[in-house]
Structure 1
Amino acid sequence: MGRHRRGAKREVTVADLIDELRRFEPGTQVRLAIQPRMPQEHAVGPVAEADGMIWIGDGGQRGYAPDEVGERLGWT
């Protein structure tokens, strides 16, 4: 998600995000991983629509993400 087959970045749509999240159990908590070199764990904040886009707010840093997170996101 977020890249097409030639490696160029593309925008993620609501449909893309929903499709990705359907792979997981509905009761599983969601976190944002920020900063590839030293991944931080952030909570998901409010969600809003403005300027023709959906915005996901930052719910605050919870700590640092485990090494496995960076590996699974392809950051290492």
Structure 2
Amino acid sequence: MGRHRRGAKREVTVADLIDELRRFDPRMEVRLAMQPRMPQEHTVGAVTEADGMVWIGDGGRLGYAPDEVGDRLGWT
């Protein structure tokens, strides 16, 4: 998600995000991973709509994400 098959970035739609999240147990917590070189773990904050887009707010940094996160996101 977020890239097409040739590696170029593409916009992610609400439908794309919903489809991706359906693979997981709905009771699981959600975190944001940021900074590929040293992945940090952030909570999800408020979600809103503005300027024709849906915005997911950062709920705050918890610390560094486990090494496995960068591996599974293809950052390593």
TM-score by shorter chain over 0.5? yes
> Aligned Cα RMSD in Å?
0.3
Residue 20 of structure 1 is matched in structure 2 by 20
Structure 2: runs of 5 or more not aligned: none
Hey, what does 1:33 align to over in structure 2? 33
Offset, 1:28: 0.2
User: Aligned runs of 1:1-76 on 2, under 5 Å?
Assistant: 1-76=1-76
TM-score normalised by structure 1 residue count: 0.99
Shift of 1:55: 0.2
Give the unaligned 5+ runs of structure 1: none
Aligned length: 76
TM-score, normalised relative to structure 2? 0.99
Task: Tell me the alpha carbon deviations over residues 24-60 of structure 1, each in whole angstroms, 9 at most, x when there is no partner.
Answer: 0000000000000000000000000000000000000
Question: 1:74: Cα distance to partner?
Answer: 0.1
| Aligned counterparts of 2:17 and 2:69: Cα–Cα separation in 1 | 18
**Corresponding residue SS for 2:19:** helix
Aligned partner of 2:45: which letter? G
